[in-house]
Structure 1
Amino acid sequence: MLVLTLKSPLPLLFFFIFFTISFAELCNPNDKKALLNIKKAFNNAYYFASWKPEEDCCTWYSVECDENSHRIISLDISTDNEISGQIPPYVGDLPFLQSLMLHKLPNLVGPIQPAIAKLHNLKHLDISWTNISGTIPDFLSSLSKLTYIRLSFSNLSGAIPSSLSKLPNLEFLQLDRSKLTGLIPYSFGDFKAKGFYLYLSHNKLSGKIPPSLSRVDFESVDLSRNKLEGDASMIFGAHRNTWKVDLSRNLLEFDMSKVVFSRSLFMLDLNHNKIFGGLPPQMTKLSNLNSFNVSYNRLCGQIPKGGELQRFDVYSYFHNKCLCGAPLESCK
């Protein structure tokens, strides 16, 4: 048995103090400095009460550290009315950050911070339900590890940058409920992810949907409540894994009788457009269809019998040119 013998208790006391300090503080000092600067930039809001300089920042609220390196990998600042001002440039001083979330902060204003371009390890970017403004910056396309971008419920305006299609790992793009204008970029046909999620609804987008989108295997796509025109049939296809399509409240005009739908389709909303033709008999084979609306179009002919089509009510079909059959009136 090893026995530690000391003539004085002081060296032993110093040893334990050193041992405790060195192992209690796991957070990298540069990361801690960046976080404290973020706190100061937000006027030391009560939200950051746990961010005490004398404590390990890996234990702070809204902060996550890597288990091995102890570098900050996630910063989630959400749901607070007291936090105000612009996105602090100090977020760019967290080089190992993989996830940045600024969510439900109604007093967050100004542009998307250029310093975010320094976060080359970023995979998840969520700046939503805020009052940020300006345009969507091109520099996002340089963050090649991004898989998820959500910039919804904001005052962002201007065109959607085509450069976003350069992101090789992007799987989810949500830019809905803002003030974006212009065309859907043709380059968006270059997204490679299998099962891509695209949400651009509630904006002021116009023009035709680019035919290049026929190359994208959408899991879910929502382009509703814009001013999009022309053909949207390239969104569909028999061999896709698409489960949700919402193209409602646009100016779309195509022959629905020629569209082939994926059997995985769960939700289809095409209401308030100029879609013509009839409902293809193949729709009776869509056994997963749970939500459906083609009202306020120019459809004609008999609603095919069978499958799920008869379980939807009149409101899913009404205000069409000459559509008939259950649940509408019988065809003459």
Structure 2
Amino acid sequence: MGVNSFNGILPKSLGNLSASIEIFSADNCDIKGIIPNEIGNMSNLIVLRIEDNELTGTIPGKLGQLRKLQKLRLDVNKLEGSVPVNICNLVNLYLLDLGNNQLSQQLPTCFGILTSLLEIYSDYNSLTSTIPSTLWNNKEIQILSLAHNLLNGSLAPEIGNIKSIRGLYLSGNKFSVDIPSIIGQLQNLENLTLSNNRLQGTIPGNLISLKILDLSKSKLDGVIPKSIEKQLQNLENLTLSNNRLQGTIPQSFGNLILLDLSKNKLDGVIPKSIEKLEYLEYFNVSFNELIGEIPNGWPFKKFTSDFFIGNRELCGASQFKIKSCTGNTTRLSSNTEFLK
């Protein structure tokens, strides 16, 4: 029944369909009210989708009776309260999506026993406390998205247990302390998003499958490793803006499509080797302490002045709205003064 204009409430009589219904889908409608407990009587349900509606109230604990359920989507509603512990009775569940609601309190500690659970989405809620350490016992999880909540504390070393994980999305929380180095052992990780936290430390390396790395709006310091291309061989998007990174920009980044180094304390020149990034669509080094000439080869011809403002003394083409590199101006190394 999904993607229609149905409105009103979910009737309690749905529970009478227990003998026949395996898939119930009423997503993307205009359904209001609460989720009736009687849905828990639909014992043959394999898929339950009621996402993108106007549902309110709490998640009924009776959903834990749906022992055959494999996919549960309640995202994009106005559900509140805590995630019921009875969810952990769904031993066949492989996808759980509770994102974009008003859920609060801590995630159930029993999530670690759901060994069939491959994907967990509970982003854009108000979940508090830390991520239960038991969650890292589920070594089969492939996607964990808890971004934009009120989670705090540190990322436990047990995070290294989930070797199969491909996507880890924890941005917009209150995590602190250092990024655990053991993250570098997650060889299947393709997307690591930890932005807008209070994380410190250095950039994790040796993530050979990583394509997207977002560590912006954190408290990272130190330098960008010169060997970053070798450590992150498949990286396409790198966002390190709004940190405390120092030193020079590495000569090589592989085959990046996006590179954002803005609002740090980087010095030296912009390496001319960046011109070799033929797929680069976005390059931002604004508000650093860079000097020297902005390269003028491809792909710099499509960038605007906004990507370079707020540096110590750059020169380049007129499109960047800065002074031209005239006369005997030379490209200088990172530890020399810019000369005219």
TM-score (norm 1): 0.75
CA displacement at 1:57 relative to structure 2: 2.9
Which secondary structure state, in structure 1, belongs to the residue aligned with residue 266 of structure 2? strand
Which secondary structure state, in structure 2, belongs to the residue aligned with residue 144 of structure 1? coil
C-alpha contact (below 8 Å) 2:193/2:215 kept by paired residues? yes
1:296 counterpart (260, 263, 269): 263
Structure with greater helix share of residues: 1
- Residue 22 of structure 1 corresponds to none
1:57 equivalenced with 2:29 (yes/no)? no
Q: In structure 2, what is the Cα distance between the partners aligned to 1:302 and 1:114?
A: 55
Structure having the higher Rg: 1
Amino acid of the structure 2 residue aligned with 1:187: E
Return structure 1 stretches of 4+ with deviation > 4 angstroms: 47-50, 309-313
1:220 equivalenced with 2:188 (yes/no)? no
- Name stretches of at least 5 consecutive residues in structure 1 with no aligned partner: 1-43, 64-69
Amino acid of the structure 2 residue aligned with 1:255: V
1:84 counterpart (46, 52, 56): 56
1:307 equivalenced with 2:270 (yes/no)? no
Count of aligned pairs: 273
- Name stretches of at least 5 consecutive residues in structure 2 with no aligned partner: 1-6, 28-42, 296-307, 309-313, 316-330, 332-337
CA displacement at 1:188 relative to structure 2: 0.7
Change (3 A) 1:309 1:121: same
Change (3 A) 1:61 1:126: closer
Aligned ranges for residues 117-196 of structure 1 at < 5 Å?
117-193=88-164, 196=166
Structure with greater strand share of residues: 1
Which secondary structure state, in structure 1, belongs to the residue aligned with residue 128 of structure 2? strand
CA displacement at 1:58 relative to structure 2: 3.9
- Residue 32 of structure 2 corresponds to none
Amino acid of the structure 1 residue aligned with 2:169: Y
CA displacement at 1:276 relative to structure 2: 1.3
TM-score (norm 2): 0.74
Amino acid of the structure 2 residue aligned with 1:211: S
- Residue 40 of structure 1 corresponds to none
CA displacement at 1:293 relative to structure 2: 0.5
Aligned ranges for residues 199-214 of structure 1 at < 5 Å?
199-214=169-184
Which secondary structure state, in structure 2, belongs to the residue aligned with residue 129 of structure 1? coil
- Residue 77 of structure 2 corresponds to 105
C-alpha contact (below 8 Å) 1:51/1:60 kept by paired residues? no
Q: In structure 2, what is the Cα distance between the partners aligned to 1:120 and 1:52?
A: 21
Amino acid of the structure 2 residue aligned with 1:246: D
Deviations 1:193-221 (A, max 9, x none): 1x621000011111111111111122000
Which secondary structure state, in structure 2, belongs to the residue aligned with residue 133 of structure 1? strand
- Residue 94 of structure 1 corresponds to 66
CA displacement at 1:165 relative to structure 2: 1.3
Identity, in percent, stands at: 27
C-alpha contact (below 8 Å) 1:162/1:186 kept by paired residues? no
